[in-house]
Amino acid sequence: MITARGLTKRFGEKTAVDDVSFTVEPGRVTGFLGPNGAGKSTTMRMILGLDRPTGGTVTVAGVRYARLGAPLHEVGALLDAQAMHGGRSAYNHLRCLARSNGIPTRRVDRVLELVGLRSVAKKPAKGFSMGMGQRLGIAGALLGDPAVLMFDEPVNGLDPEGIVWIRTLMRSLAAEGRTVFVSSHLMSEMALTADHLIVIGRGRILADTSVREFIETNATSHVRVRSPELAELGPLLARRHWRVEVDPDGSLRVFGADPASIGDVAAAAGVRLHELSPVRPSLEEAFMRLTGDTVEYHAGGLHEHEAEDEAVGGPPPDDFPQDSPPGGPPPGSPPDEGPSGPPASGPTGMWEGGRS
């Protein structure tokens, strides 16, 4: 169990983690979800005592990490796979870690086997691919057979087979009753792996809830509408008190309406439709809505989505935004969830209903 209370970390002027409190429970995979730069790694580093909190406390099994008698038996952590001396062989790397906590050497062979690195155990780690480095880091985390496991962006650099492997591993570790805390900015990954979510944005906890509940609370199903005559259709739909948002790819998201009624409105106005499809909520969707105004870098939008209390008050445009070419996706590809790029902000424009 990991317990953070009022955990805060400032680097000079910048607050990386801002008064964060949460508990990571055993027996399930807890996803730590947030865009790059949200404070995930800093929080994990504070859990391990690598960074000193500016304020607040964080404990593992009720104790500050630095006071654990046999830390590797309590917590196994993969922070970044490159955190090893490249000149040392995988075997020797694990051997010096094991020795520092009085773990017998045969356990080194065991974890090397477990992560599938036995054949390269005597090779220097610098020759390893990123995926192999990741596996070696995981082997280090498993060395002490700990009750708490922490993985920071574990699927980075893994091939599809490796991703499935680590997903299965995390789930089985949790099923054994261990505490599994895994950070990621990949929502699809979290949707598949996590039972519980702690969502962080700009150093603050935005949600601490089960995955299912998170989706239900933060995402509602909507209807995606494509039409060559969006400029006409948008205001028409908005007038029906449905919430209408412009997707970055040029389609509309209509909330609170079923496809049939939208089709009727379009037909009555003589507007051609190219797509009319109901979209079920996803974790992505929920995340985007929740962090719409908490991501550090916006993809650049017409109107910032107001997700939280901060009503930034961008002028709600009740006419169609001029700089968005209606009737077709803009030349740039729709923002995709990539491993490194800044996460796309949510909807980039919206019409509010009831403005006629």
Residues that bind another protein (CB under 8 A): 26, 45, 48-52, 65-66, 68-73, 75, 77, 79-80, 82-89, 92, 95-97, 99-103, 114, 140, 142, 144-147, 169, 172-173, 176-178
Joined tokens for residue 72? 């590797």
Query: Kind of pairing, strands 243-246 and 148-152?
Result: unpaired
DSSP secondary structure code for residue 294 in this structure: T
Q: How far is the CB of 182 from another protein (least distance, A)?
A: 16
Question: What's the min distance (Å) between Cβ of 163 and another protein?
Answer: 18
Judged by beta carbon, residue 176 or residue 213, the one nearer another protein is 176
Question: Least distance (Å) from another protein to the CB of residue 84?
Answer: 5
Whether residue 47 contacts residue 150, with contact meaning beta carbons closer than 8 Å, is answered with yes
Q: Is 233 helix (H, G, I), strand (E, B) or coil?
A: helix
Least distance to another protein, CB of residue 297, Å: 24
Identify which of residues 86 and 127 has a Cβ nearer to another protein in the complex. 86
Minimal distance, residue 79 CB to another protein, in Å: 6
Choice between 85 and 241, CB closer to another protein? 85
Does residue 143 come out as left (phi exceeding 0), alpha (psi in the -120 to 50 range) or beta?
alpha
Nearer to another protein, 49 or 263 (CB): 49
Structure tokens at 324: 């968005």
Question: What amino acid occupies position 349?
Answer: G
How far apart are the C-alpha atoms of 200 and 4, rounded to whole Å? Answer: 13
Measured from the CB atom, the residue of 172 and 188 that comes closer to another protein is 172
Residue type, 174: A
Which residue's CB is nearer to another protein, number 68 or number 158? 68
Contacts of 63 (CB under 8 A, 6+ apart): none
Residue 355 tokens read as 């403005």
Nearer to another protein (CB atom), residue 150 or residue 205: 150
- Smallest separation (angstroms) from another protein to the CB of 129: 17
In whole angstroms, the minimum distance from the beta carbon of 6 to another protein comes to 19
If you search the block for the tokens 């390269």, which residue do you land on? 120
Contacts of 28 (CB under 8 A, 6+ apart): 174, 180, 195, 196
